[in-house]
Chain A
Amino acid sequence: MDNILKIIKDTSLTYEQKVLTLAKAAENSIKPLNIDDETQKYREEGVICDLFEGNAPYRPRYIVPDYEVFLKNGSKFLGLEPPKNIWEAVNSLLILYKHVPSITSFPVYLGNIDTILDRFVEDEEEAYQAIKLFLLHIDRTITDSFCHANIGPEDTKAGRLILKASRELNASIPNLTLKYSQNTPDDLALDSINTALVTAKPSFANHEMFVGELGEDYSIASCYNGLPIGGGNFTLVRLNMGKLAPMAKDTEDFINNLLPDAVEKMAGYMDERIKFLMEESGYFESSFLVKEGLISIDRFTSMFGMVGLADAVNHLLGAKDQKARFGHSKEADDLGVRIIEKLEEEVNKHHNPYCKFSDGKFLLHAQVGIDTDKGIAPGCRIPIGEEPEIWDHIKHCALFHKFFPTGIGDIFRFDSTVKRNPQYVLDIMKGAMKVGMRYISFYTSDSDVVRITGYLVKRSDMEKLERGEQVLNGAAVLGLGAVKNQHVLDRKERKDA
């Protein structure tokens, strides 16, 4: 019980953070899942990692409610009538958010907040007031960076007000994505870029690509995860390729033996987690979100995560010299593609009866890493410190993005002088979409809000935390870990070159 007392006495945690940490400790005091020895060995070696989901899943990892249904019908359980104006709309949403769980206990998806609010925008000045307070309330109460709102792809009055308020508030929460389609007007894209250059959001999602795989009703939740609206994701477990590769005799052994074995074990572990959630926890039988039609079991999938492709490739090739490494050599990049193709093939062999949205399949996800990862690059990214020129870098991203419908993305840090020429960033963003990039984020070197690996944290919050002070955003501690272990503040600064 030492750990419980330690949590209780920890002065760097807010009261709310303590309660959540204690709940996690309680969950982890039982072991109801059946995990076979070989899978357990992979877990202990860090090859398979469930990203701290806990020992007894009692809610899906990511819940993506259909907020339009909620605003249209109100909620019987919450005792809310359908809202009639902007104040009622934002108030109702803020109430609902407190009842949308996820792995962090905070909602990871807040809705396509421009389209759902736009019909309530009558007087723009009043709507701006309401939207700004709405966003402020979110930042100060949903104190977790994995909370994500979407806007676009169409231009709306509400969308413009959301961007304006985001610039003014300069807050790390919520994360924000513009669904960018070929029909999104340049003017909205530029407004979004001008916002991102101030406050590191929104990011840009390739709308056509997501629609092609997930349909029109998709969302971007948590870091950058593509998921069906009205459903979500049961579980996300990751396969650490950087740790699996050194166990292989050679590349062929890795691809033909180790990788299929690890995929099979991990898929089995995911099955076990989903089974407990669906058959034991009673979540779907009891949640009002299901009863009121905000989520439905047949709109759920599960995310098969991977991390450390660069490390696996470099290890298998024995690539020490920069020219021979992942992101710099055709041989290394080709091997990377071959590994991911094989991963997709193996994952697709597996069938889980509960993942109805994806016809029983798990969908690939390039996981961004955890704060304690050292020497493991996120997903299919080129490690920080080894980044090539941006045009080569983006094309390299595009090699992999098509394999990951539930999320993959990369981040570019610009010299702050680009603020003078946002069209420059627009050209780069459009080019990235054109060459097949799924998801791209930008920020500038002088921004207080910075994108860590997928989520946003304020530099000033991390500084406070380092001094032992409490900060409201629970993800700041993860950001600080990633700064120390993965050097995320040292991302290559992009200047004219």
Chain B
Amino acid sequence: MLKGLVNKIIPFSSVDGPGNRTAIFLQGCNFNCLYCHNPETINLCSNCGICTKVCPTQCLYIENGIVRWYKENCKECDSCLKACKSCSSPKTTFMTVEDVIKAIEKTRPFISGITLSGGECMLQKEFVIELCEAVKKLGLTAFIDSNGSIPFYGDHRLIEAIDMVMLDVKSFDKEEHKMLTGQDNEMVFKNMEYLASINKLYEIRTVIVPGVLINERNVDKLSKRLAELNPNIKYKLIKYRPIGVRTDIIKSSVPTDEMMEKLKDIAIKNGCKDVVVI
């Protein structure tokens, strides 16, 4: 049976799309962003076992060469994540669509829908499709939070299954995007244009990272492009924050409110009607 590799499920989330949503984070990402705030979602576990040695409650152990997690005793201290050398987590679970639906049952009366995030959830596209189809049968909406590296176009079943996409557009510039994420941004733009054309682009987001990215250029060019596509699509400008970030590979600081307001003004001046700073 088809299974997804799930990093975690946040039953109530106020920050992953409209209303209250159960956010499902899938494991594995094809980007390696310098500012990634949950780098433990990037790679699959290599079963090296380092984490089993640091767990203070002994809920990690090796069985037949595979790292296992005994959930009941876990105190969520994250010592394992700090010790991991592979940007991964021993606390992932293979779940079927039914397993996830069962987990949603407890929050179902209180949510607008689910948001699939990651990692990059689209790396597990088949699972995403089946889960979204099942969720819609419950009368809930299915949103996708994506880095835009996997094509949304050309897959009718996918597009039918999902409601809206929240797309990270991390840099307008190809080289800068590569420097930041390890990948280029050609597909990101294709997805942005396609999703906007079929009214399935809920928002685009750009993280503002002082000293690392040319932020003003990004906001200026991206907001112009977005306004051409549809000025009513939300443009979210996110402050870089060092929480959870590998600060040994990035040297930046939290942008000031003044800087964010200035960038917001640029986006509004370029025609975007719904610009949000967070």
Contact = CB atoms under 8 A, between A and B. Distances in A.
A and B bind: yes
Given A390-B12, A496-B10, A497-B12, A423 B106 contact: no
Interface centre among B12, B14, B111 (most CB of A within 10 A): B14
Interface in B10-50: 10-15, 18-20
Contacts of A349: none
B11 A428 contact: no
Contacts of A334: none
Nearest to A418: B14
Nearest to B18: A423
Contacts of B12: 389-391, 424, 428, 494, 496-497
A496 B14 contact: yes
Given A427-B112, A430-B110, A496-B14, 9 more contacts: A389-B12, A391-B12, A391-B106, A391-B107, A423-B18, A427-B111, A428-B12, A428-B110, A431-B110
A31 interface: no
B14 A417 contact: yes
A421 interface: yes
A394 interface: yes
Interface centre among B11, B12, B107, B278 (most CB of A within 10 A): B12
B109 interface: yes
Interface of A: 389-392, 394, 417-418, 420-421, 423-428, 430-432, 434-435, 494, 496-497
B116 to A, nearest CB: 16
Contacts of A394: 110
Contacts of B18: 421, 423
A425 B20 CA distance: 7
A390 B109 CA distance: 12
Interface string B107-136: 101111000000000000000000000000
Contacts of A391: 11-12, 106-107, 110
A421 B19 contact: yes
Contacts of A390: 12, 110
Interface in B95-114: 106-107, 109-112
A424 B11 contact: no
Contacts of B20: 423-425, 427-428
Contact of A424 (B10, B14, B107, B278): B14
16 contacts: A390-B12, A391-B106, A391-B110, A394-B110, A417-B15, A421-B15, A423-B19, A424-B12, A424-B20, A426-B19, A427-B20, A427-B111, A427-B112, A428-B20, A432-B110, A497-B11
Contacts of B14: 417-418, 420-421, 424, 496
A392 B112 contact: no
Contact of B19 (A420, A424, A496): A424
> Main SS of chain A's interface residues?
helix
A419 to B, nearest CB: 10
Given A420-B278, A423-B20, A431 B109 contact: yes
Interface centre among B10, B12, B13, B20 (most CB of A within 10 A): B20
Interface residues of B, number: 16
A394 B20 CA distance: 15
A447 to B, nearest CB: 17
Closest 6 CB pairs between A and B?
Answer: A431-B110, A427-B20, A431-B109, A423-B19, A424-B14, A424-B20
A428 B112 CA distance: 9
B109 A434 contact: yes
Contacts of B106: 391-392
Contacts of B278: 420
A443 B234 CA distance: 27
A497 B111 contact: no
Contacts of B19: 421, 423-424, 426-427
A436 to B, nearest CB: 10
A427 B13 contact: no
A430 B109 CA distance: 8
B139 to A, nearest CB: 12
Nearest to A421: B14
A435 B109 CA distance: 7
A417 B15 CA distance: 9
A496 to B, nearest CB: 5
A256 to B, nearest CB: 35
A417 B12 CA distance: 14
B13 A496 contact: yes
Interface centre among A424, A425, A426, A494 (most CB of B within 10 A): A424
Contacts of A420: 14-15, 278
A390 B111 CA distance: 12
Nearest to B13: A496
B142 to A, nearest CB: 15
Nearest to A390: B12
A293 B112 CA distance: 46
A138 to B, nearest CB: 33
Contacts of A423: 18-20, 112
A391 B278 CA distance: 26
A391 B20 CA distance: 12
Contacts of A430: 110
A424 to B, nearest CB: 4
Contacts of A426: 19
A497 B21 CA distance: 11
B257 to A, nearest CB: 15
A494 B110 CA distance: 14
Contacts of A431: 109-111
Contacts of A435: 109
Interface string B150-180: 0000000000000000000000000000000
Interface string B231-254: 000000000000000000000000
B36 to A, nearest CB: 19
A417 B14 CA distance: 9
B109 A389 contact: no
B77 to A, nearest CB: 16
A357 B106 CA distance: 39
A394 B107 CA distance: 11
Contacts of A392: 106
Contacts of A427: 19-20, 110-112
